[in-house]
Structure 1
């Protein structure tokens, strides 16, 4: 069924100006180490045909379990602890880091320039030496 402009203008407007809860920014889920260990134990104890139901019930993916299992095997509970995000850098810290990188690049360029000048100086000295030896050697006539 196609709506005409007359149908659209006759339709009541239902926008009340309120924002729905879905408009909020989604939050990343985080799981405690205890929860991860509990789910791993429950998954391992579940029969193979029922494991998918466990994942669906908890809203998890099999990749979650793979990562959690690797972390558990690598460092037991320490590998499962959630790590806090590093604090944001202040604008001063960002500027300082940028200037340090610029200074390092400038120092590297200076070192290259000094090495190039050293090579040119040695080449000049070698050419002078060859020129002087050519002047002192008299060509032999046959």
Structure 2
């Protein structure tokens, strides 16, 4: 066990090994014993499992501490335009789906609407 007050750092290989060992546990109490042996909390194992499932084994490598490097005006503008483009593409996809739905439902609405002839000879839609 490390000295008290020192934060442990796990390499990506250690994290992957622990997650795989936890996945291999089949008996009741095996995972708890693994957590005690490794000296980690279940929430940490859960976070590693989630990272592995979402982003693969390279997500377990971690990030460098500290602030992200500052972006210049051009990089900020590019990021802003990419976000805007993504939002517009989502709106376009939704609009296309709605148009397709309207096209598919048009025969249904046309068959259900009836017209009647009024006394003055005009066609009116029945309600």
Q: TM-score, normalised by structure 1?
A: 0.41
Q: TM-score, normalised by structure 2?
A: 0.46
Decide which structure has greater strand share: 2
Larger Rg: 1
